[in-house]
């Protein structure tokens, strides 16, 4: 017998690459968010970078 809880929580997200530096990410029923690198890293600065999204999550 395992010590598995009687419930399981599943979180899902999906993404679509827009360019080599940008992605469009979908979570639940929310509008998509854009992740992009700044121009100094080859992006177009259309949204926070992936690292900045990690920092946002840690602050939340």
Confirm whether 4 is domain-assigned. Answer: no
Tens-place pLDDT, residues 22-49: 999 999 999 999 999 999 999 999 999 9
Q: Who contacts 1 (Cβ-Cβ below 8 Å, separation ≥6)?
A: none
Confirm whether 41 is domain-assigned. Answer: yes
- Name which residue leads in pLDDT, 6 or 31: 31
Q: Residue 35: which domain range?
A: 22-59
DSSP string, 17-52: E-SSSEEEEEETTSPPEEEE--GGGTS--SS--HHH
Mean pLDDT over each residue of the chain, to the nearest integer: 93
Structural domain total, the chain? 1
Confirm whether 9 is domain-assigned. Answer: no
End-to-end Cα separation, the chain, in angstroms? 36
pTM value is 0.77
User: What is the model's pLDDT at position 15?
Assistant: 97
Whether pLDDT at 7 is above 80: yes
Confirm whether 2 is domain-assigned. Answer: no
Interatomic CA distance for residues 31 and 25, integer angstroms: 9
């Amino acid at each position: 017998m395992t010590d598995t809880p009687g419930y399981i929580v599943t979180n899902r997200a999906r993404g679509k690459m827009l360019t080599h530096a940008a992605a469009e990410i979908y979570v639940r029923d929310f509008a998509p968010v854009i992740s992009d690198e700044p121009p100094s890293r080859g992006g177009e600065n259309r949204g926070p970078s992936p690292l900045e999204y990690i920092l946002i999550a840690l602050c939340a």
